[in-house]
Amino acid sequence: DVKVTQSSRYLVKRTGEKVFLECVQDMDHENMFWYRQDPGLGLRLIYFSYDVKMKEKGDIPEGYSVSREKKERFSLILESASTNQTSMYLCASSLLSREDFWDTEAFFGQGTRLTVV
Amino acid sequence: AQSVTQPDIHITVSEGASLELRCNYSYGATPYLFWYVQSPGQGLQLLLKYFSGDTLVQGIKGFEAEFKRSQSSFNLRKPSVHWSDAAEYFCAVAPRGGYNKLIFGAGTRLAVHP
């Protein structure tokens, strides 16, 4: 059974703290993604990675950074947490699509609900 | 700019009634198309996907979706809704080839009346 595991379901952090959200997948997927989910806004892409040590900014990268040192692990870092980063964070992974390979279904973790106080 | 629009934020239907959730996309070329469902407190689950071929695709839980190129739409349908279908539904697109960045719509929250 495919699996994307996020290290915490709930986190409470203080303003200004450095926060690490961890995500691990066991499917040997090339692509990994971090989204934040807010009511009425859907899922917005923060960063994604298509290979080890490779990363691309998504739609809302400000205030975040990422790290991908190993293929199976993708970390989201809040350098200095702020209250407007209180949200649900979702990690996902998928195979890299190629011209002759059509299966790009993304698998999601259960999410981390982060509260910054 | 690439975008996905789900025009209905909330929809309420009676149990047993039919359902259609709308999704329109703005993309240079036909992307991959997906519908995901998120039940309360749960992660996202894939309902169905369109890559190519038959424009009517069947998914899990009795859902289907129809791709209409001329309308840039990928609407989700179910002929008879069950109370357990109450959830939030997300339409998503990803470009063909490359790095498959998934872009989501804002979601439609479905309530089901008994």
Count CB atoms within 10 A of the CB of residue B50.
Answer: 21
Q: Is the pLDDT of residue B38 over 90?
A: yes
Q: Is the pLDDT of residue A96 over 80?
A: no
For position A2, what pLDDT does the model report? 66
Q: Within the 32-61 window of chain B, which residues sit less than 8 Å (CB to CB) from chain A?
A: 32, 34, 36, 42-46, 49, 51-52
For position B40, what pLDDT does the model report? 84
Q: How many helices (H) and strands (E) does chain A have?
A: 0, 11
* Region class of A106: left (phi > 0), else alpha (psi between -120 and 50), else beta: beta
Chain A environment of B44 (Cβ under 8 Å):
90, 92, 108
For position B97, what pLDDT does the model report? 64
Which of A30-44, A66-80, A96-110, B67-81 is the least confident region? Answer: A96-110
Q: What is the mean pLDDT of residues A69-85?
A: 97
Among partner residues B45, B52, B97, which is closest to A97 by beta-carbon distance? Answer: B97
Q: Rounded to whole angstroms, how far apart are CA atoms B106 and B114?
A: 26
Beta bridge partners of A37: A43, A88
A44/B104 Cβ within 8 A: yes
Among partner residues A40, A102, A108, which is closest to B9 by beta-carbon distance? Answer: A40
Give whichever of A14-23, B50-59, B93-102 has the largest mean pLDDT: A14-23
Spatial CB neighbours of B84, under 8 Å, sequence gap ≥ 6 = none
Of the pLDDT bands very low, low, confident and very high (cuts 50, 70, 90), residue A101 is low
Q: Within the 15-74 window of chain A, which residues sit less than 8 Å (CB to CB) from chain B?
A: 31, 33, 35, 40-45, 48, 50, 56, 58
For position B22, what pLDDT does the model report? 98
Q: Is the pLDDT of residue A28 over 70?
A: yes
Tell me: the pLDDT tens digits for B62-95? 999 999 999 999 999 999 999 999 999 999 988 7
Question: Maximum CA pair distance of chain A?
Answer: 48
Q: How far is B92 from chain A (nearest CA, A)?
A: 10
A33/B102 Cβ within 8 A: yes
Report the percent of chain A where pLDDT is more than 90: 74
Q: What is the mean pLDDT of residues B91-114?
A: 85
Report the percent of chain B where pLDDT is more than 70: 96
A90/B102 Cβ within 8 A: no
For position B53, what pLDDT does the model report? 84
Q: How far is B103 from chain A (nearest CA, A)?
A: 7
Spatial CB neighbours of B54, under 8 Å, sequence gap ≥ 6 = none
How many contacts, defined by CB atoms under 8 Å, are there between A and B? 68
Mean pLDDT value across chain B: 91
B43/A110 Cβ within 8 A: yes
Q: Rounded to whole angstroms, how far apart are CA atoms B98 and B19?
A: 34
pLDDT, greater one: B30 or A94: A94
For position A105, what pLDDT does the model report? 79
Q: Is the pLDDT of residue A100 over 90?
A: no
Report the percent of chain B where pLDDT is more than 90: 71
